[in-house]
């Protein structure tokens, strides 16, 4: 009887030890994988049972997902996704454009069209545009009209209005473009014709 009792005690002890090891492993795994994503001093590994130590309004339990509070620190991942375009210059077959300002619902850029080049005949589904000629002379297709704009002159392009900016002259053309709309995105462009074969 004593032998059987001793054997049972030994088995029970080993099961208990194994249970403790498994529990410790699970909690250590949670601590490694669950990291606070806020941008504050506490930015350290967290377990699911521990609260975030930052001073933001949410002060809630964290996992790999962002917290649900509205403070700026917890939107760190979103800020990474959308990189600022300001002061960046982009090359195109017809010339270049440089973003000089952007914000919610608007974007401002300068567009330089090389001599004897032109942008595609296009339209936008989510934004309007305002063009102001800074240098040179522009030939503009606006709907079924053809307009010449000289330095200091401007016009407006409505949402979904067919248009094209062209420079058939021997000197470069530079305009300022102000985009306004609920979606400001370079992909919001429907090309109807393009001398460079773009779609």
Q: Domain of 109: which CATH number?
A: 2.60.120.10
If asked whether residues 93 and 189 sit together in one domain, one would say: yes
If asked whether residues 70 and 100 sit together in one domain, one would say: no
If asked whether residues 186 and 131 sit together in one domain, one would say: yes
157 vs 131: CA distance, rounded Å: 8
Q: Residue 199: inside a domain, yes or no?
A: no
Specify the pLDDT at position 39: 54
State pTM to two decimals.
Answer: 0.60
If asked whether residues 98 and 21 sit together in one domain, one would say: no
Report the share of the chain in percent with pLDDT over 90.
Answer: 56
Closest to 143 (Cα-Cα) out of 162, 166, 158:
162
* pLDDT, tens digit (0-9, with 9 covering 90-100), for 75-117: 444 444 567 889 899 999 999 999 999 999 999 999 999 999 9
Specify the pLDDT at position 83: 77
Task: Please count the other Cβ atoms lying within 10 Å of the Cβ belonging to residue 104.
Answer: 6
Number of domains the chain is built from: 2
Q: Pick from 19, 54, 81: which residue ends a domain?
A: 81
If asked whether residues 35 and 121 sit together in one domain, one would say: no
Specify the pLDDT at position 75: 46
Mean pLDDT, consecutive 10-residue stretches, the chain (199 aa), reads 59 60 49 48 46 52 46 47 83 97 97 98 98 98 98 98 98 98 96 95
């Amino acid at each position: 009887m004593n032998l059987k009792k001793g054997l049972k005690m030994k088995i029970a002890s080993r099961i208990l030890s194994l249970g403790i090891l498994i529990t410790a492993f699970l909690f250590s795994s949670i601590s490694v994988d669950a990291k606070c994503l806020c941008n504050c001093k506490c930015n350290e590994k967290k377990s699911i049972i521990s609260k975030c130590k930052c001073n933001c309004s949410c002060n809630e339990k964290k996992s790999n997902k962002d917290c649900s509070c509205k403070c700026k620190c917890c939107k760190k991942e979103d800020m990474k996704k959308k990189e600022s375009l300001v002061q960046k210059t982009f090359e195109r077959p017809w010339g270049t454009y440089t973003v000089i300002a952007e914000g919610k619902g608007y974007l401002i850029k300068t567009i330089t069209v090389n001599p004897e080049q032109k942008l595609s005949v296009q339209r936008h589904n989510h934004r309007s545009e305002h063009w102001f000629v800074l240098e040179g002379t522009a030939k503009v297709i606006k709907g079924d009209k053809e307009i010449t704009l000289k330095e200091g002159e401007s016009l407006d392009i409505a949402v979904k209005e067919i248009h094209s900016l062209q420079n058939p002259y021997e000197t470069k053309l530079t305009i300022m473009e102000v985009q306004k709309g609920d979606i400001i995105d370079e992909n919001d462009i429907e090309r109807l014709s393009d001398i460079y074969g773009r779609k």
